[in-house]
Amino acid sequence: MTSTIVIHEISKSFGKKTVLDHISLKVSPGEIFGLIGPSGSGKTTLVKLIVGMDRPSHGDVKVLDMSVPNLKLLQRIGYMAQADALYNDLTGEENLAFFSSLFKLKKDVQKKRIAYAADLVDLTNDLKKRVQNYSGGMKRRLSLAIALIQDPDVLILDEPTVGIDPELRLSIWEEITRLKNAGKTILVTTHVMDEAEKCDRLAMLRDGKIITSGSPAELKDHFGIKTLEEVFLKAGGKQE
């Protein structure tokens, strides 16, 4: 099986500070791959390299057999950043329409995708409101809807459920699982260990290095303990 995401010996430095140190990993089609680790461990930097928002100091990244960065890939990747990048003067609907227009969707397809994405994140009744009047949680939900708008082959989600209530978080993860079963490739960063349990495989980052990786069951079995939080602590990744 050809891997959707291939990261080979990636390092990234900002001045004298090394943020990522020789990271290698592969993510397969139809897989939810989780990156977990404390703040400052390098998760967001790694995500930005995968999306093509930055270049590595060393090593290379390929997504869908194409070297990153690559403008053609943007049509096939859905990306939700940790910080919301929204137009506050526009309504939620106008934000969705704007971003869907960037992906060359036909008008009838745009309409269907906007309805689907808004319904998934429970924003249908708030689409006519200006985003400046949205709560923080509503903005996160809109950012997730935008990441899904073009029905991407690869979904990159950086802390997607921060500020979202538990019931909606559950429905979002149900949809993430459905997308996985439809063959989509999903990479997600999270601090939430019950979300990490929903991933097929995990990489635990600490100080820019992968300290351990494997399926949740493999990691717990390897360390002889019952929870991923204990695995993380035992592997040397004490949470902050």
Residue 125 burial (10 A CB sphere; 0-12, 13-18, 19+)? exposed
What is the chain's mean pLDDT, rounded? Answer: 91
Distance CA 189, CA 34 (A): 6
Distance CA 119, CA 117 (A): 5
213 in any annotated domain: yes
pLDDT over 70 for what percent of the chain? 98
Distance CA 4, CA 62 (A): 8
pLDDT at 235 over 90: no
Residue 71 burial (10 A CB sphere; 0-12, 13-18, 19+)? exposed
Pair 64, 162 in one domain: yes
pLDDT (0 to 100) of residue 240: 42
Pair 47, 11 in one domain: yes
Pair 125, 32 in one domain: no
Pair 91, 71 in one domain: no
Pair 157, 61 in one domain: yes
Q: Is 215 helix (H, G, I), strand (E, B) or coil?
A: coil
Q: Tokens standing for 221?
A: 């079995």
What single-letter amino acid sits at 240? E
The pLDDT tens digits of the residues spanning 58-99 come to 999 999 999 999 988 988 999 999 888 899 999 999 999 999
User: Domain of 18: which CATH number?
Assistant: 3.40.50.300
Name the most confidently modeled range: 92-96, 175-179, 231-235. 92-96
The pLDDT tens digits of the residues spanning 15-41 come to 999 999 999 999 999 999 999 988 888
Q: Tokens standing for 19?
A: 């943020």
Q: What is the pTM for the complete model shown?
A: 0.89
81 in any annotated domain: no
Range of the domain at 101: 86-151
pLDDT at 186 over 90: yes
pLDDT at 212 over 70: yes
Per-residue confidence band for 238, with pLDDT thresholds at 50, 70 and 90: low
Alpha helix ranges (H) inside the chain: 43-51, 92-101, 107-120, 136-148, 166-181, 193-196, 216-223, 228-234
Count of structural domains within the chain: 2
Pair 210, 141 in one domain: no
Distance CA 188, CA 8 (A): 19
Pair 56, 131 in one domain: no
